[in-house]
Homo-oligomer: A and B are copies of this chain.
Amino acid sequence: MEPLNLNNLREQLIRQEETIIFAMIERAQFKQNRAIYQVGSIPIANHSGSFLDYLLRETEAIHSRVRRYTSPDEHPFFENLPEPVLPLIDYPHLIQPNCININSKICNIYMNEIIPVICSSGDDENYGSSATCDVSCLQALSKRIHYGKFIAECKYQEKPDLYQGLIRDGDSDGILKTLTNKELELILLKRVKMKTATYGQDIGVDSARMNYKINPETIAEIYEKWLIPLTKEVEIQYFLTDRTQNGVTDKHI
């Protein structure tokens, strides 16, 4: 990762929009296939969760072995994953040590709020393909939302005096108000709508029809209703993390 800088971080979040939009367009090929989210609908030997749980947990196990979750910008959905089989990388300590991980909430919102608006209802039996897309979507959403940690650290470093008072008072509402930039959010929503309209359009050579794989409004609405608020939730949790925990002194104060 680059050194902490709000412009760099915004560039990365902007690039992640493509990853999120592409992943959702891919998922939207298939129906909701709710069986993959229901425990017991697709019984798997020696496994008690849903079909998606199985695929996601097994995928995370591989990724954990190739040290994905040692990177400070990656967060697993499951605990007790296997140890890396590669030597560890010494990442620069850009943010405070913390255990913030809201993936369980992200997963619930994804299954219950996002899937119903990007996929048509019903079952087409493409369980494996759908769940493989789900893994990509969840990983992209989790990465984006937990970037809140880096954003919060950056905002703190820019205005430590302002935030220190709010943090001391445990004033979540004040922190939320201070970190929110409505103008930038509106630009983001407009851009995501344009991207979805562009990347989600069907393209034929001879026809002038304009057909979308996902309604251009939909992903902007998902950002407005879920991704932006969840990112802020991570930011607030991060601000309220004890900045002297684990014996790490705060170099910025």
Contacts and interface: CB of A to CB of B under 8 A. Distances in A.
Query: How would you classify the secondary structure of chain A's contact residues: helix, strand, loop or mixed?
Result: helix
Nearest to A131: B66
23 contacts: A15-B29, A18-B26, A19-B26, A22-B22, A22-B25, A22-B26, A46-B85, A47-B85, A51-B66, A55-B62, A55-B66, A62-B62, A66-B127, A66-B128, A66-B131, A67-B128, A68-B128, A191-B205, A194-B203, A194-B205, A195-B203, A198-B199, A198-B201
Interface of A: 15, 18-19, 22, 25-26, 29, 42, 44-47, 51, 54-55, 58-59, 62-63, 65-68, 71, 85-86, 127-128, 131-132, 136, 187, 190-191, 194-195, 198-199, 201, 203-206, 213
Given A59-B59, A85-B44, A86-B42, A198 B194 contact: no
Contacts of A25: 18, 22
Contact of A198 (B29, B198, B213): B198
Contacts of A26: 18-19, 22
Contacts of A213: 18
Contacts of A45: 85
Contacts of A85: 44-47
Given A15-B29, A42-B86, 9 more contacts: A18-B213, A55-B66, A58-B62, A58-B65, A59-B62, A66-B127, A136-B136, A191-B204, A194-B205
